[in-house]
Amino acid sequence: MLKVTNVSKYKGMTYMIEFEGKEPEFLNQQTVNMFNLRAGASLPLSAWEDIKAEEEYRKARERALYLLDYKDYSYVDLFHKLEKNYSEETCYRVMDKMVEMGTINDRRYAEGLARHYVEVKKFGRYRALREMRQKGLTAQVAEEALEEYDDTYYERLYELVESKYLRYLDDDKGITRTKNALVRYGYSYDLIKEVLRDIEEEYGGED
């Protein structure tokens, strides 16, 4: 059993919990109030472990909300952020809470990423999918979010070549460099060949 000898405010919302024959511990006021910790209370060791687990959960939950204030995360990505400092059990508990609150929604997150990578960054499907997987999304969720762009890659690639690479298509070396760059953008060889062929037909006769 642990006997609480004193509970006093330490700094801000932090309270110092003093024990008989044990070093003091520090808890947030919310946790102190939740468990009604008072001087003279006797706690089984298992009860104290529950209190410490609740304190860790509170800290991890606040950390998750802090991170989500600045950017969106996938379930997996945020879990990995939290597990650097908190136990696996606590991380799962926090993630369940985030899903319940609606602050974590992988499908909504995937739709936003797909829009960013395809419409803003001008990535092809392969690059967009790879980037989304690296953000912790499953292949299925990422692929579903990219489906709405399946019929747009030709047009986007054509516009990309027109705006950025047209001046490099005067010789074989420039064409090879352009092809390599477009592969890095995530477009397929077949689509690149098709677009470059059509670009040549439209611009090939110009000086």
Question: pLDDT at residue 5 above 80?
Answer: yes
**What confidence category does residue 99 fall into, taking pLDDT thresholds of 50, 70 and 90?**
very high
**What confidence category does residue 203 fall into, taking pLDDT thresholds of 50, 70 and 90?**
confident
With left for phi above 0 and alpha for psi between -120 and 50, is residue 105 left, alpha or beta?
beta
What CA–CA distance (Å, rounded) separates 187 from 156?
10
What CA–CA distance (Å, rounded) separates 157 from 149?
12
Burial class (CB in 10 A: 0-12, 13-18, 19+), 51: buried
Half-sphere exposure of 143 (CA within 13 A, CB side): 3
Residue type, 169: L
Burial class (CB in 10 A: 0-12, 13-18, 19+), 179: middle
Q: Strand 22-28 relative to strand 14-19: parallel, antiparallel, unpaired? A: antiparallel
**Tally of helices (H runs) and strands (E runs) in the chain:** 10, 4
For the chain, how are helix, strand and coil distributed in percent, rounded to 5?
A: 65, 10, 20
Q: Mean of the pLDDT values across residues 99-120?
A: 94
What CA–CA distance (Å, rounded) separates 202 from 94?
56
What CA–CA distance (Å, rounded) separates 135 from 74?
7
The confidence score (pLDDT) of residue 1 equals: 87
pLDDT tens for each residue of 133-169: 999 999 999 999 999 999 999 999 999 999 999 999 9
What CA–CA distance (Å, rounded) separates 140 from 110?
10
**What confidence category does residue 207 fall into, taking pLDDT thresholds of 50, 70 and 90?**
very low
